[in-house]
Amino acid sequence: MTIQATARLERATRVRAEDFLCAFDAGGAFPDARPGQFVHVRTPADLTLRRPFSVAAVTGRGRFELLVRKRGEGTAALLSLPEGAEVSVLGPSGNGFGLPEPGERAVLVAGGIGVAGLRHLSRTLARDGRRQVVLVGAPTATALLDGVLPGPTTDGAVRVEVATDDGSRGLRGTVCDLVGRALEETDAPARVYCCGPQAMLRSAAGIALAAGARCEALVEEVMACGIGACRGCVVRTRTGYRAACADGPVFDAAELVFDGEERA
Amino acid sequence: MRTPIMLASGTVGYGGELSGLCDFSSVGAIVTKTVTEAPRDGNRPPRLAETPGGLLNAIGLENVGIERFLDEKLPAAAALGAPVVVSVAGDSPAAFARLARRVGERPETAAVEINISCPNVERARRPVWDDPDATAAVVAAARAATGKPLLVKLSPNTADALSVAEAAQRAGADALVVANTLPGMRIDIETGRPALGNATGGLSGRALMPVNLALVWRIAAGVSIPLAGSGGVATAEDALEYLMAGASAVQVGTALFLDPDAATTIAEGLRRRMAHDGVRSVAEYKGMAGRMST
Ligand SMILES: Cc1cc2nc3c(=O)[nH]c(=O)nc-3n(C[C@H](O)[C@H](O)[C@H](O)COP(=O)(O)OP(=O)(O)OC[C@H]3O[C@@H](n4cnc5c(N)ncnc54)[C@H](O)[C@@H]3O)c2cc1C
Ligand SMILES: Cc1cc2nc3c(=O)[nH]c(=O)nc-3n(C[C@H](O)[C@H](O)[C@H](O)COP(=O)(O)O)c2cc1C
Ligand code: FES
C-alpha cells in the first residue's frame, strides 16, 4: 500500500563526498518497504515534481533510510535540510525484488549509487541467513561507497568483490567483468540483482542471462506521479511499455528492451 | 458539483490509481485519461522533462482503448465516489460521435469531455483545435450522439481561441475547458538531443497559468456557457484567479504530482477564503475581475 505521510529527518550521515545516508521517521502508519521499493519525496526546493529514492533500509516501524546522492536542485535542497525537518513522502511504491528461492544463490551487482537500491535487499538476506555474493563497481577506489552494503563475513555467508575502472581497488575493469566469473564458480542456480546506470544494467543483464541465471534489474526513470497514473515513466519491455513506478522499478531483465536494442 | 475542483485528464489515470491517496469528497469531478477507440501505446520514452515552473510531457495519449475502458476502468472510477467525466478523442467527427455514444450510454458517466487539443498527436496540417469549422463538426457530431453534458477542451495553441470557443458553443457544447498544454521542448546539451523521445511535448504547471488565465478572461467575455480553467492550478488562490477571470470551476493536473490530495487543500482554502470574504457561493467570485475593470 502506498500512502502519503510526513517524514522527519532524524539524521543525515555523510558516506562519501556527496552521498548521504538519511534516516527518516514517517510514523507508525507508514508501511514497511520491501527491498527494491522506493519513496517519492517532496523536496523543499521549488520544483514541479517529487524525487524518487530507493528505500535503502527499514530500521523500525515507519522508519527507513535513503541514500541520497547530490545531483541537482532537488537533492541539494533535501541534503541541506537540518535534522528534525519534515518532508512529505509518498510510498512505499513499486514492486520490489523477488527474494531468492531456497537453493538459489543471490548475486548482487551494484554500479555507483546503485548500492542504494541493494542495501535493503542485502540486509534482508543477511537477516534471513541467506548466502550472498556482492559485486560492487566504481570509477576509482575513492568513489566506492564503503559501509553501505554489508562487508564480507568470515563464515563466507557474505562475499564481496570490487572492480574499479582504474584498478585502484580490486579488479581493474567494470563490475560486469565480475558477474561472469561469479556465475561460473558453481553450477548452482543463481539469481542476479542489478542496480546502477543503464549501460551497466544492460551489460550485466546480458552476461547473467547468457549464463542462464535469472536476473532482476532496478531501472531509474524520471517520474511525475510515481503511482502509475500519468504514464510518464514507461520503459520498453517485450510486452510493450510498462510503468517503472507501478509495474517496476524492478523488472525481469529478460523482459526489458534496452536503448538501442530492437523491439521483439 | 460539491466543489468547483476537478482532477484533470491524464494526471489521475483512470482514477483508481489515486485510491487511498485522495479524499474524493473534496473532488468536484474526476476527468479520466483520454480514451480512443483502439488502444494506443503512446510515444517512445523519455516522456517527461521538468522546466522552470513547469513540466513537459509527451505521453502520446497512451490508453487502454474504449473496450477495456468500459469493462474495467469506468466501473472502478465510479466506485471512488466522485462524478466521473470521461475524456475521449477520435480522428474524425464520426469517431468522436461513436465514442461519445458509447461512454454516454453508461450510467457511470456524469459528463463527456471532448479532447481536441492534445499536442502530442500528429494531425492534419491545420489541427482541429485551431479551426472553428473543424471544431464545430466534431462537437456537433458528439452532441448528436449523447444527451450527457458535453465539455469541450480547447487548446491555448491557437490564433483565435475565441472563435473556436464560439464555434464549440454554437455546435452544442455545455461547457468549455480552457485549456490544454502549450507545445514546448528541452534539449540535453551534453548529447545535443531533445530531452523527450518525441522531441516536443506539452507544457503544463505553473508556467502555463498566465497564458490560460488570459484565455479564460478573453473567452468568458464572448461565450455564455460555463468555463473550467485549467493550467497551473495548485492553490486556492490560483483557483480564485480563474474564478475571478470568469471560470466556474478549475481543473487541477500537474499539482497532483506534488500532492495527490491537492483538491482537499484547495477546497479548504476556498472555504476559508469565502468565510473571510463573506461570500456564500463561489459563483459570486465569477468574473469579478471583468466587472471591476469595466
Ligand atoms: C526508482 C528510483 C530509485 C532511485 N533511487 C535513488 C537512490 O536511492 N539514491 C539516489 O541518490 N538517487 C536515486 N534515484 C535517482 C534520483 O531520483 C535522482 O538523482 C534525482 O531525482 C535527481 O534530482 P535533482 O533535482 O537533484 O536533480 P535534477 O536537477 O532533476 O537532475 C540532475 C541530474 O540527475 C539526472 N536525473 C534526474 N532524475 C533522475 C532519475 N530519476 N534517475 C536517474 N537520474 C536522474 C538528470 O538527468 C540530471 O543529469 C532513483 C531514481 C529512481 C527512478
Ligand atoms: C502527464 C500529463 C498527461 C496529460 N494527458 C492528457 C490527456 O490524456 N487528455 C487531456 O485532455 N489532457 C491531458 N493533459 C493535460 C491536463 O489535463 C491539463 O489540461 C494540463 O496539464 C494543464 O493543467 P495543469 O497545469 O494543472 O497540469 C495531460 C497533462 C499531463 C501533465
Ligand atoms: S510516474 Fe506516473 S506513471 Fe510512473
Q: Which pLDDT tens digit goes with each residue over B212-252?
A: 999 999 999 999 999 999 999 999 999 999 999 999 999 99
Mean pLDDT of A31-48: 97
CA distances from A61 to A12, A26, A95, A200, B135 (A): 19, 9, 20, 34, 56
Which pLDDT belongs to residue A47? 98
In 3D space, the residue among B16, B228, B202 whose CA is nearest the CA of residue B118 turns out to be B202
> Residue A41: pLDDT band by 50, 70, 90 thresholds?
very high
Q: Cell match 564480507: residue?
A: A152
In 3D space, the residue among B154, B174, B133, B289 whose CA is nearest the CA of residue B215 turns out to be B154
Q: Count of CB atoms within 10 A of residue A116's CB? A: 29
Hey, which residues of B are catalytic here? Answer: 118
Counting ligands in written order, which one lies closest to the CA of residue B33? 2
> Residue B130: pLDDT band by 50, 70, 90 thresholds?
confident
Point out the least confidently predicted range of A136-140, A219-223, B199-203.
Answer: A136-140
Mean pLDDT of B20-27: 96
The rounded mean pLDDT for chain B is 94
> How near does any CA of chain A get to the CA of B215, in Å?
23
Output A264 or A31, whichever has higher pLDDT: A31
Q: Cβ of B57 under 8 Å from any chain A Cβ? A: yes
Half-sphere exposure of B100 (CA within 13 A, CB side): 28
> How near does any CA of chain A get to the CA of B60, in Å?
10
Q: Which residues of chain A approach chain B closer than 8 Å at the C-beta?
A: 1-4, 42, 47-50, 88, 90, 221-236, 240-241, 246
A-B C-beta contacts closer than 8 Å: 97
Per-residue pLDDT reduced to its tens digit, B167-181: 999 999 999 999 999
Contact A230 B10 (CB under 8 A): yes
Mean pLDDT of B57-65: 97
Which pLDDT belongs to residue B76? 97
Percent of chain B with pLDDT over 90: 90
Mean pLDDT of B25-29: 96
Query: Do B245 and B229 contact (CB within 8 A), yes or no?
Result: yes
Mean pLDDT of A91-103: 95
Distance (Å) from CA A229 to ligand 3 centroid:
6
The pLDDT of residue B119 is above 70: no
Cα B188 from chain centroid? 29
Per-residue pLDDT reduced to its tens digit, B36-60: 999 999 999 999 999 999 999 999 9
> Residue A264: pLDDT band by 50, 70, 90 thresholds?
very low
Which pLDDT belongs to residue A149? 83
Chain B residues with CB inside 8 Å of A48's CB?
50-51, 53-55, 205-206, 254, 257-258
Contact B49 A222 (CB under 8 A): yes
Mean pLDDT of A7-11: 97
Mention every residue, 6+ apart, whose C-beta is less than 8 A from residue B241: B209, B213
Which pLDDT belongs to residue A145? 83
The pLDDT of residue B120 is above 90: no
Output A108 or B292, whichever has higher pLDDT: A108
Cα A56 from chain centroid? 7
Percent of chain B with pLDDT over 70: 97
Which pLDDT belongs to residue B125? 63
Q: Give the ligand 2 atom nearest the CA of B153.
A: 11
Q: Which residue of B47, B204, B241 sits with most ligand 2 atoms within 8 Å of its CB, as the best mutation to test the pocket?
A: B204
The rounded mean pLDDT for chain A is 93
Mean pLDDT of A145-150: 81
